[in-house]
Amino acid sequence: MEEECGRGESSPRYAGIATFMRAPLVRDPAKLDIALIGVPFDGGVENRPGQRHGPREIRNMSSLIRAVHHVTGVNPYALCRVGDMGDVAITNAFDLEASHSDITGFIGRAHSAGAVPLCAGGDHSISLPIFRAIAADRPVGMVHIDAHTDTCNEELGSRFTHGTPFRRAVEEGLLNPERTVQIGIRGAQDSEEGLAFSLESGMRVIFIEEFTRLGAEAVIAEARRVVGDGPTYISFDVDSLDPAFAPGTGTPEVGGMTTIEAQALLRGLGGLDLIGGDVVEVSPPFDPSGNTALVGATMMYEILCILAESVVRRKKSNGKATK
């Protein structure tokens, strides 16, 4: 596996075809426990685009990511079969809802084969079609790290933009709002209807001011209380970070998390029953240094480590890879 992955000492990290974290390219999800998937789509953006280029640049920068976690000692590649399943084939890029169907189809193929998806976006609208693929049989919980609640009703005439996915997911019975925590929220709004939906539906909303006051450890405890023991998804919008750390995104909001806070927050979610995750809104055209793509790759690795532990726990308790 190690040799196939090209992560061994013998192969320089700058060489070869770029895959996520130098994992093997495996098109058949039946051969995987965790499928790393690119979703090159930004048709749900209402302002600054470019997130369609996210997967390619995250793959490139992720060649810097090594195997063994420096804090937890976890090596996800030793725990389970991790591979890059490639990009969702967007067959009708000019049609938002048809593109979402492409995403649901591709992620559904991974889910049906027993592979847990960890996706790189793409704009945040992709989380809804991912939920349609993996949460159709029961609503799931979510730890949502973002500057924005993404629970608006519509933007510019569409109900399926990157500002609306989690309202639709609740309405479609895919997301349990009472097992949802939104962390890092900030920024002035033109309307309070999105936040009102989050609060009225029962989501726990942690503004950045509360995050800063409580600190990562207490926020982790609160997030764990909210999502509990049930199946839980992690959605990480890179604009949760302060633009000083992640400028390459469509909707930057100053006054955000530091990278080390976000890493600690994700790591603190270890032990939850995790069923998938995404890192979204990296926009390479606004990221001339490539640092935002590196940040995205690093957050993806943090999620991969705790996801791998979840997969192993489920294997031990169920005798099968995924649920």
Cβ proximity to Mn ion, 237 vs 302, nearer residue: 237
CA distances for 116 relative to 143, 158, 250, 260, 281, angstroms: 16, 29, 27, 26, 21
In whole angstroms, the minimum distance from the beta carbon of 45 to Mn ion comes to: 10
Token output for 152:
């608006």
3-class state of residue 246 by DSSP = coil
* Residue of 148, 186, 267, 314 that binds Mn ion (CB under 5 A): 148
Q: How many residues does the chain have?
A: 323
The pattern of x and - marking residues 85 through 124 that bind Mn ion according to CB under 5 A reads: ---------------------------------------x
> Which among 194-202, 223-231, 233-241, 256-264 is the span making contact with Mn ion, rule CB under 5 A?
233-241
Residue 25 or 259 having the CB closest to Mn ion: 259
Q: Taking CB under 5 A as the rule, does residue 52 contact Mn ion? A: no
Rg (CA), the chain: 18
Q: Token pair 């294997």 is at which residue?
A: 315
Tokens of 147: 């500057």
Given the rule CB under 5 A, which of 54-62, 107-115, 140-148, 284-292 is the region that contacts Mn ion? Answer: 140-148
Name the packing angle between helices 216-227 and 259-267 (round to 10°): 40
Distance CA 5, CA 8 (A): 8
Of 42, 237, 302, 309, which lies in the binding site for Mn ion, with binding defined by CB under 5 A?
Answer: 237
> Between residues 84 and 150, which has the closer beta carbon with respect to Mn ion?
150
**What is the size of the binding site for Mn ion (CB under 5 A)?**
7
Is 239 near Mn ion (CB under 5 A)? Answer: yes
Pick the binder of Mn ion from 57, 84, 87, 146 (CB under 5 A): 146
Q: With residue 14 as reference, give the H or E element that holds it.
A: none
Chain centre distance of CA 303:
8
Choose between 117 and 243: whose C-beta lies nearer to Mn ion. Answer: 243
Q: In the complex with Mn ion, which residue's Cβ is closer, 33 or 146?
A: 146
Q: State the residue for tokens 């061994």.
A: 8
Instruction: State the residues that interact with Mn ion by CB under 5 A.
Output: 124, 146-148, 150, 237, 239
